[in-house]
Amino acid sequence: MLDIRFVRENMPIVREAMRNRRADESILEGIEKLEAERRRLIAETDELRNRRNTLSKEVGKRKAAGESGEALMAEVRGFGEKLSALESELADVETKVRDVLLMVPNIPHESVPVGADENDNVEIRRWGAPRDFSFEPKNHWDIGESLGILDFERAVKIAGARFALYKGLGARLERSILNFMLDVHTGEHGYTEIFPPIMVNSASMTGTGQLPKFREDLFKIENSDYFLIPTAEVPVTNIHRDEILDEKDLPVCYTAYTPCFRAEAGSHGKDTRGLIRQHQFNKVELVKFTTPESSCEEHEKLTANAEVILQRLGLPYRVIVLCTGDMGFSSAKTYDIEVWLPGQGRYREISSCSNFGDYQARRAGIRYRPEGKKKNELVHTLNGSGLAVGRTLVAILENYQQEDGSVIIPDALRSYMGTDRIAAG
RNA sequence: GGAGAGGUGGCCGAGUCGGCUGAAGGCAACGGUUUGCUAAACCGUCGUAGGGGUAACACCUUACCCAGGGUUCGAAUCCCUGCCUCUCCGCCA
């Protein structure tokens, strides 16, 4: 959420940001009047309350002095109605202002390229070279099924479309990948491991920005206020909701493995086969809380931390910066890491690393005490996948497939797998 | 699931029969004095948010003692509902 004061004083900037994002500017209609009204009502109610409080104290004094406060009491009695009318009017206006603010996306960082859609994203760098195949590379679902390590048909029977069943070395590969990732991030990159609840309440979903705007993307548990998390970002960022952190503890860096659940509303027909787009998938997430001064630097580091995983696994990838039109709602700047998939002959997203600035922190009330200053300030929050586990498995199957149908296990995973190859039979 | 107890500032903890309590006291923290250094002692500061105000401070004011309602001239203090925590019993992994 943006600061109402910032919005009020910088309307042109806000409007331009929304235009650049292809967001619907019309929700800003009337916000200035509402905000002026809000402040007018605050002044009015405060004034009335002040008079009431003063007179009520006077009643107390008179009673203590043995006099009757009846006359005053009668006078103040009349305040009640006026006051509650004003209060409900104010509450109403405040809700309206807040509702608008919750629908306004973050302002893109100045370094973000302006663009309409994914075609305007800008590639920053590439690592590794796609391998030359002496045969026609297969896609991962064919590889997985013929090796007997992925079973999509039975997953449909058990749950439905967009679910997968991993079996034998397939299940083990998934587990190996996520353990490897966690070991690298905790052991080498200094992140603290978290294993959070994977169902959260609506306050947490609002804190990180999934609610109210993206409800249809979430799975909701019936007869409760619980939602299945779409990413560990939600529970992990909300660890410090409504807290004030010490500057000396910053940056706070967490990594968490969790299953993630997404309704994938509006993506009918996209990636219907294979593991790319599932209702349930595993992800290792990286989350940071930093000072405003260091958030850009920490963003680069976080992205680099995710890249290391691909490098260790020998998977070619590229990093792109999302343009204004393709960025997520709460993000100020996002790098996507895309891994090369020979089966598809193109790069596919495997990680998305975002700097949210103070946008989530304001919603979620996450602040810190700057050393030497009196005033608390909002932290900056960042997160990124480090990485999506299922898609990493896809990339390994496709990049390391052999002509005989077997798959070589990358060196980094062999100790986890207990084998160097997955072969049929 | 049954029966009790409770939710106060960064932490601990007091708040009498509702008024002068934004909240005693302690700890921690910060600034200072003292000290050969450390420790100790002493003095002071020390919640958050909104609005007004200021060049910026100062300052004024409102709200907040789990949340939401209610009673009252006036509520941390009384009543109701919800959420959460703890203890005991039962049950289950």
Which tens digits make up the pLDDT trace of A1-24?
899 989 988 999 999 999 999 999
Tens digit of each residue's pLDDT (9 = 90 or more) over A162-195: 999 999 999 999 999 999 999 999 999 999 999 9
Q: Of A50, A75, A103, which one is at a domain's C-terminal end?
A: A103
Q: Is residue A152 part of a domain?
A: yes
- CA–CA separation, A168 and A387 (whole Å): 22
Taking the C1' atom of every nucleotide in all shown strands and the CA of A40, the nearest one is B51
Contact A163, A192 (CB under 8 A): no
Q: Kindly state whether residues A269 and A297 are assigned to the same domain.
A: yes
Q: Kindly state whether residues A223 and A310 are assigned to the same domain.
A: yes
Look at residue A57 in the predicted model and tell me its pLDDT: 87
Q: Kindly state whether residues A167 and A298 are assigned to the same domain.
A: yes
Average pLDDT over residues A49-67: 85
Which residues face A290 on adjacent strands?
A380
Look at residue A68 in the predicted model and tell me its pLDDT: 72
Backbone angle region of A190, left / alpha / beta, with phi > 0 → left and psi within -120 to 50 → alpha: left
The chain-wide mean pLDDT, for chain A, equals 92
- CA–CA separation, A349 and A425 (whole Å): 32
Q: Kindly state whether residues A68 and A152 are assigned to the same domain.
A: no
Q: Binning pLDDT at 50, 70 and 90, where does residue A374 land?
A: low
Q: Is residue A301 part of a domain?
A: yes
For chain A, the domain total comes to: 2
Question: Which residues are in reach of strand B, CB within 7 A?
Answer: A 4-5, 39, 42-43, 45-47, 49-50, 52-57, 59-61, 63-64, 69, 72-73, 76-77, 80, 84, 244, 367, 374-376
Q: Kindly state whether residues A381 and A242 are assigned to the same domain.
A: yes
ipTM of the complex: 0.84
Q: Of A103, A128, A151, which one is at a domain's C-terminal end?
A: A103
A56 versus A319: the higher-pLDDT residue is: A319
Any residues with CB less than 8 A from the CB of A317 and at least 6 apart, and which? A126, A127, A128, A307, A310, A337, A338, A339, A340, A347, A350
Taking the C1' atom of every nucleotide in all shown strands and the CA of A52, the nearest one is B73
Tens digit of each residue's pLDDT (9 = 90 or more) over A383-412: 999 999 999 999 999 999 999 999 999 999
Residue-number span of the structural domain to which A278 is assigned: 118-422
Q: Is residue A89 part of a domain?
A: yes
- Return the percentage of chain A with pLDDT > 70, whole number: 99
The whole-number Å distance from A55's CA to B51's C1' is: 21
For strands A346-355 and A380-388, give the pairing.
antiparallel
Q: Is residue A111 part of a domain?
A: no
Any residues with CB less than 8 A from the CB of A189 and at least 6 apart, and which? A253, A255, A305, A308
Q: Is residue A258 part of a domain?
A: yes
Contact A220, A261 (CB under 8 A): no
Q: Which residues of A are catalytic?
A: 262, 277, 349, 352, 391
**Residue A382: CATH number of its domain:** 3.30.930.10
Q: Kindly state whether residues A298 and A327 are assigned to the same domain.
A: yes
Look at residue A246 in the predicted model and tell me its pLDDT: 79
Look at residue A254 in the predicted model and tell me its pLDDT: 95
Tens digit of each residue's pLDDT (9 = 90 or more) over A222-231: 878 889 999 9
Look at residue A372 in the predicted model and tell me its pLDDT: 64
Look at residue A234 in the predicted model and tell me its pLDDT: 93
Contact A319, A304 (CB under 8 A): no
Q: Kindly state whether residues A169 and A61 are assigned to the same domain.
A: no
Q: Kindly state whether residues A99 and A162 are assigned to the same domain.
A: no
Question: Is the previous residue joined to A196 through a cis bond, with omega within 30 degrees of 0?
Answer: no
Q: Is residue A200 part of a domain?
A: yes
Q: Kindly state whether residues A185 and A323 are assigned to the same domain.
A: yes
Taking the C1' atom of every nucleotide in all shown strands and the CA of A377, the nearest one is B48
Q: Kindly state whether residues A398 and A296 are assigned to the same domain.
A: yes
**Residue A65: CATH number of its domain:** 1.10.287.40
A81 versus A156: the higher-pLDDT residue is: A156
Q: Binning pLDDT at 50, 70 and 90, where does residue A78 land?
A: confident
Look at residue A102 in the predicted model and tell me its pLDDT: 86
Taking the C1' atom of every nucleotide in all shown strands and the CA of A83, the nearest one is B62
Q: Is residue A112 part of a domain?
A: no
Q: Of A54, A76, A103, which one is at a domain's C-terminal end?
A: A103
Nucleotides in B strand less than 7 A from protein CB: 10, 19-20, 48-52, 61-63, 70, 72-74
Q: Kindly state whether residues A288 and A167 are assigned to the same domain.
A: yes
The whole-number Å distance from A244's CA to B17's C1' is: 39
Q: Kindly state whether residues A232 and A355 are assigned to the same domain.
A: yes
The whole-number Å distance from A258's CA to B89's C1' is: 37
Q: Binning pLDDT at 50, 70 and 90, where does residue A335 land?
A: very high
- CA–CA separation, A137 and A345 (whole Å): 9
Look at residue A418 in the predicted model and tell me its pLDDT: 96
- CA–CA separation, A89 and A169 (whole Å): 63
The whole-number Å distance from A120's CA to B70's C1' is: 58
The whole-number Å distance from A43's CA to B69's C1' is: 25
Q: Is residue A212 part of a domain?
A: yes
Look at residue A35 in the predicted model and tell me its pLDDT: 93
